[in-house]
Amino acid sequence: MAETKERDTTLALDILHQRFGDRFLTGKSIREQHGHTTTYLENQPPDAVVMAESADDVIWVVQVCAEHRCPVIAFGAGSSLEGQLNAPAGGVCIDMSSMDKILKVDQDDLTVTVQPGVKRIALNEHLRDTGLFFPIDPGADASIGGMASTRASGTNAVRYGTMKDNVLSLKAVMADGREITTASRAKKTSAGYDLTRLMVGAEGTLGVITELTLKLHGLPESIVGGVCNFPDIESVCRATIQTIQYGVPIARIEMLDQVQVRACNAYSKLSLPEKPTLFVEFHGSEASTKEQSEIFNDIIQEFGGSDFQWTANTEDRTKLWQARHDAYWAARALKPGTEAIVTDACVPISQLALCVEETRKDLERHNLLAPIVGHVGDGNFHTAVLVDMANAAELNAAKAFAERLSQRAISMGGTCTGEHGIGQGKKSYLRQELGDTVDFMGMIKSSLDPQNIMNPEKIF
């Protein structure tokens, strides 16, 4: 184990300043932009920001920081929701946004190798002519490195899996400044511990990701999208469960409750009936998407689904899914001047209807405004509780609600976080959810980062 040194952030910053010159930034607003900015959590800026241009830059920063026990926080696009980017112990933020090169598309292998600062929309634009795409789509235009670090997923996960399933291999600079490659480029492997899956979801607490090889998927020959509404949330959930159980290989199945529909109508200029609604999408051959749509249509009839409109028109589909991706901003626009406390419960799908139902009642009981959206095919749903931060009673009520929701999900065999991660916001829930297991996570953290310099005070 490395010798434990005194923390000397000031000295580390001086050395980094000399090395990086113009690429070493300490302006207040720059620093604040590199702390947490997306939810109600307090902004805690780093002491300095280094604009990295290469893995060598990252290695250099981490080596200096290891020498002086200075915290290191990697920054991708700034869209994480649980305070992952905050610097409660100060230190250096490494901004990876200039490391945005797409290094190699291997069409034969259906893989692409990228730097971590590449953003998901740019990646798919780059891939467009290859007939391939990368399916993981959290709402924001996040960076691939950040998406890996939080084990992100999004609307396509029901069919294509999450980041855990779509990162084949990665490079990372570990806490001692060494860069490692976690795995070969083979499609499967039994070569030792699965460090790829350990780094995916580690939220930067074990190392800084410097390169990723991702799995790609063929663009479907046919994409059919649709929207339909239901008399109540339970019917939405039951129709979803039946669709999954029936084995329909649905690509997207997203719930919006009546409040979220109202928000999206206003924000994204839609005119949907203000009722619990499903956005769906089917991928496959012409014959397959037709078959899937027909089966789905039969299923929703059983649960009172109506107004099912479907379209293969790209423009209409894009508008619908852009609205879905903007749901968070639409929610916030419902009550201007407020911040959002975003929850991320995920339960076994058999428990989904009950969990969402109880959550809706809980919100009403406490007079909280919170649209609900759900990746319901995965049993995952979000509420965005809109809070006037000057109203202490409302803030406390919202926090108490979020805690009850996490406990409800955990008590139903689920998790407090399906895709946002633990960060600063959910540390206490992690222990509630997994108990002593967290001790073993802590042992891994201590062994790989004995000085606790990699994104300290996150997860643990």
For a second copy, the binding residues in 186-205 under the rule CB under 8 A are 186-195, 197-198, 200-202
Nearer to a second copy, 98 or 181 (CB): 181
Q: How far is the CB of 391 from a second copy (least distance, A)?
A: 30
Establish if 254 lies at the interface with a second copy (CB under 8 A).
no
Q: Find the binder of a second copy among 103, 121, 389, 443 (CB under 8 A).
A: 443
Nearer to a second copy, 223 or 410 (CB): 410
Which positions from 378 to 397 touch a second copy by CB under 8 A, shown as an x/- string? Answer: xxx-----------------
Which positions from 266 to 305 touch a second copy by CB under 8 A, shown as an x/- string? Answer: -------------------x-xx--x--------------
Q: How far is the CB of 440 from a second copy (least distance, A)?
A: 6
Q: How far is the CB of 243 from a second copy (least distance, A)?
A: 12
Establish if 415 lies at the interface with a second copy (CB under 8 A).
yes
Contact set for a second copy, span 304-343 (CB under 8 A): none
Residue 82 Cα to chain centre, angstroms: 10
Q: How far is the CB of 329 from a second copy (least distance, A)?
A: 22
What residues are paired with 281 via a beta bridge? 225, 252
Q: Find the binder of a second copy among 46, 418, 425, 456 (CB under 8 A).
A: 418
Q: How far is the CB of 119 from a second copy (least distance, A)?
A: 20
Establish if 180 lies at the interface with a second copy (CB under 8 A).
yes
Which positions from 227 to 246 touch a second copy by CB under 8 A, shown as an x/- string? Answer: --------------x--xxx
Interacting span for a second copy (CB under 8 A) from 11-19, 315-323, 389-397, 429-437 = 429-437
Establish if 178 lies at the interface with a second copy (CB under 8 A).
yes
Q: What count of residues does the chain have?
A: 460
Establish if 129 lies at the interface with a second copy (CB under 8 A).
no
Nearer to a second copy, 105 or 272 (CB): 105
| Alpha carbons 192 and 251: distance in angstroms, whole number | 33
Q: How far is the CB of 156 from a second copy (least distance, A)?
A: 12
Q: Find the binder of a second copy among 8, 42, 56, 106 (CB under 8 A).
A: 106
Nearer to a second copy, 50 or 356 (CB): 356
Residue 420 near residue 81, CB atoms below 8 Å:
yes
Interacting span for a second copy (CB under 8 A) from 121-129, 265-273, 328-336, 422-430 = 422-430
Establish if 140 lies at the interface with a second copy (CB under 8 A).
no
